[in-house]
Amino acid sequence: MPKWLSARASFGVLLACIDSISLYSSIGIVHYYRLGFWIPNFDWQLAAIVGVTLLTLYVMNVYYLDRMGNPLRTAIRTFTAVAVSGATIASVVYVTKSTDVSTVLWRGNLPLGLVVFGVWASVLRYLAQIALNRFTRDPNWIVIGNSERGRALIDDQSRSAMGGKLLPLTTSEHDLDYIHIETTAESLKISAQQGTMFEGKAAGIILATDEVLPKNLVSQLMHARLGGITILEVADYYEQFLLRLPVMQLKDGWFAMSQGFALLQHDVQLKIKRILDILAASFGLILFAPVFLIVAVLVRTTSQGPAFYSQVRSGRLDREFRLHKFRTMVTNAEENGPQWAQNNDPRITPIGRLLRKTRIDELPQLWNVLVGQMSFIGPRPERPDFNRELKKQIPYYDLRHLVNPGITGWAQVMYPYGASVQDSRKKLEYDLYYIKNYSLAFDLYIALRTVRVVFSWAGR
């Protein structure tokens, strides 16, 4: 599991545990105050309430606090999530008339319990956000070197909410011989011919030079590393903090020597992933059978043409297969040849726009997963016509075909829209990161992020 995922998951799990206990306690206190006795030790209705509330909080993205987030906005988003979950639960209770099943669902017990919990959860996150803003700062990373790779990193970091603050040292390549590094328990000091260039606390040093490092600088970097200072190459910073692999800056040697790529090296990993795909696809096809019928009728009755749409895509090892979707465009959408999808694409039907935003149009791909042409998680399959062009323009593009394509993937949740060669390059960087850092825990995280996209209508 990537280190960033472990830290983020731990924080989210801790908050979820606190929320579960707090919600149970809030409803229990209200229940005891109004009826004079505590709720049962285990109540299926209460378990469902906790599950729906936690899912709504997750979808509203309140299980991860940004370092410089707005405390009031965080608190409002939290209370809104609880209100939405309460409205959803109340609607189900009203329709099913299940208030006589459990005293937890009695009028007054549940709404008041959710209000108490909502206030508590909002205040907790408000205070946590204030503490986070006050006591944490973006770590300083010192960039040594003046290469094009370093300048590209600084530009990419400036447009990213992840990672730290980069402080480039304005040194030419021939000045590397004169750099002097001193480390103490409290600070890092870097100087050159022109004097002190940096002095203070730093998270680490990023080497952004294309030149061979002088021996004296290598020795100083070694002592700095042994003194607790992290030393990274540009590509390593991309991977650890921007969560992608910069394909324009990598060499064959980096792939040959870098750790990871367990999904390609261990047949057991592939078999486990395949078994889980078969089980999930089978369950999904059964569960969503009524949805298939309803959507098929809606598509047929709102626009001319078939309910389903099949298109040739490139899969593992570049093998072609037919990908299935609910039709979301007019029937003659590509009479002039293959085209990139666009924002507000005029070819999309009204019902098709809704299907895309909720990702329901992807459901027929469960069949592709079941027969082994796709996986649940992986790089999105592209059309052969586009692939041929992208291979010519993007280094290492073919590496994404080493694994089965997926219904969703790391690129889809991190960079959800792609309609150009530049977008395809960015998505490839996330795809390669996924292939290199694959784990079952990572797959689960991507699946949860996809749930958030579906419920937030962030599809295109």
Residue range 122-136, pLDDT digits in tens: 999 999 889 887 877
Task: Give the mean pLDDT of 431-437.
Answer: 92
pLDDT tier for residue 49 given thresholds of 50, 70 and 90:
confident
Give the domain extent around 92.
Answer: 3-135
pLDDT tier for residue 7 given thresholds of 50, 70 and 90:
low
Task: Give the mean pLDDT of 206-231.
Answer: 86
| One domain, residues 127 and 156 | no
| One domain, residues 127 and 153 | no
pLDDT tier for residue 338 given thresholds of 50, 70 and 90:
low
pLDDT digits (tens, 9 = 90+) for 65-81: 776 678 999 999 999 99
Q: Choose between 448 and 170: higher pLDDT.
A: 448
Residue 246: the pLDDT is: 92
Query: In the listed set 89, 111, 135, which residue is the last one of a domain according to the structure?
Result: 135
Query: CA 250 to CA 402: how far, in whole Å?
Result: 18
- Has residue 281 got a pLDDT over 90? yes
Query: CA 453 to CA 436: how far, in whole Å?
Result: 24
Task: Give the mean pLDDT of 212-220.
Answer: 86
Sorted by sequence, the CB contacts under 8 Å of residue 247 that are 6+ apart come out as 394, 395, 396, 397, 425, 428, 429, 432
Query: CA 133 to CA 35: how far, in whole Å?
Result: 42
- Has residue 148 got a pLDDT over 70? yes
| One domain, residues 283 and 373 | yes
Give the side-chain half-sphere CA count within 13 A for 57: 30
Give the total number of structural domains in the chain.
Answer: 3
Residue 291: the pLDDT is: 93
Whether the Cβ atoms of residue 347 and residue 338 lie closer than 8 Å to each other: no
| One domain, residues 54 and 97 | yes
Whether the Cβ atoms of residue 344 and residue 431 lie closer than 8 Å to each other: no
| One domain, residues 388 and 437 | yes
Whether the Cβ atoms of residue 208 and residue 235 lie closer than 8 Å to each other: no
Q: Choose between 246 and 13: higher pLDDT.
A: 246
Residue 8: the pLDDT is: 64
Q: Which residue matches tokens 């096809």?
A: 285
Task: Give the mean pLDDT of 408-437.
Answer: 87
Task: Give the mean pLDDT of 322-345.
Answer: 75
Q: What is the largest CA-CA distance in the chain?
A: 82
Question: Does residue 293 fall inside a structural domain?
Answer: yes
Query: In the listed set 135, 157, 178, which residue is the last one of a domain according to the structure?
Result: 135
pLDDT tier for residue 252 given thresholds of 50, 70 and 90:
confident
